[in-house]
């Protein structure tokens, strides 16, 4: 059910869900079932996985519980381009640390509210929001910059 709710498709699926009612948090452990994958760098299919690296992403709240995705993300060693590249998670921009919809919500809130107030509503650090603003605007931001 959660695999569908998160919009995941093969080779990704939800392996485990942990609900912590005391801390109002839900954690989703994702897994990649693929053993041979497409190289993210050149697109060559049937490439081997050399290792996996633990990554975490903040998701939109589920049932008013803070939600997190956790995955051992495969790194592919390509026989064609000779690069070792991390497989991108289809749910997030590379290096973001936020689920794509969470990032979109955060940026929308930052257009209407002071960044510190948006961060408080989302229960994240304002510095995290400033980094996303810098990424999309393309210019360094500061805590005194106004988005409006």
Query: What digits encode the pLDDT tens for the residues 90-132?
Result: 899 888 899 999 999 999 999 999 999 999 999 999 999 999 9
Last residue of a domain, one of 88, 106, 136: 88
Measured CA to CA in angstroms, residue 137 lies from 58, 82, 110 at distances of 21, 34, 12
Q: Please choose, from the candidates 61, 53, 134, the residue with its C-alpha nearest in 3D space to the C-alpha of residue 99.
A: 61
- Do both 67 and 2 map to the same domain? yes
- Do both 124 and 98 map to the same domain? yes
More confident residue, 137 or 80: 80
- Do both 82 and 135 map to the same domain? no
- Do both 77 and 115 map to the same domain? no
Instruction: Indicate the pTM of the whole model.
Output: 0.82
3-state class of 54 per DSSP?
Answer: strand
pLDDT score of 2 more than 90: no
- The residue written with tokens 């050399």 in the block is 50
pLDDT score of 14 more than 70: yes
Q: Give me the number of domains the chain comprises.
A: 2
Q: Strand 65-77 and strand 84-86: pairing?
A: antiparallel
- Do both 83 and 96 map to the same domain? no
For 43-83, how does the pLDDT look when each residue is reduced to its tens digit (9 = 90+)?
999 999 999 999 999 999 988 899 999 999 999 999 999 99
- Do both 61 and 4 map to the same domain? yes
- Do both 22 and 55 map to the same domain? yes
**Which residue range(s) make up the domain with 99?**
92-148
Q: What band does 6 get if pLDDT is binned at 50, 70 and 90? A: confident
pLDDT score of 146 more than 50: no
Last residue of a domain, one of 88, 110, 140: 88
- Do both 68 and 2 map to the same domain? yes
């Amino acid at each position: 059910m959660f695999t569908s709710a998160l919009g995941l498709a093969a080779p990704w699926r939800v392996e485990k869900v942990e609900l912590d009612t005391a801390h109002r948090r839900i954690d989703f452990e994702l897994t990649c079932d693929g053993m041979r994958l497409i190289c993210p760098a050149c697109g060559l299919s049937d490439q081997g996985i050399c290792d996996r690296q633990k990554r975490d992403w903040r998701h939109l709240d589920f049932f008013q519980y803070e939600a997190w995705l956790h995955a051992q993300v495969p790194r592919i060693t390509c026989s064609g381009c000779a690069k070792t590249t991390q497989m991108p998670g289809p749910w997030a921009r590379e290096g973001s640390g936020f689920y794509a919809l969470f990032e979109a919500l955060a940026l929308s809130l930052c257009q209407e509210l002071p960044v510190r107030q948006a961060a408080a509503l989302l229960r994240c650090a304002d510095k995290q929001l400033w980094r996303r603003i810098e990424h999309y605007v393309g210019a360094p931001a500061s805590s005194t910059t106004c988005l409006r």
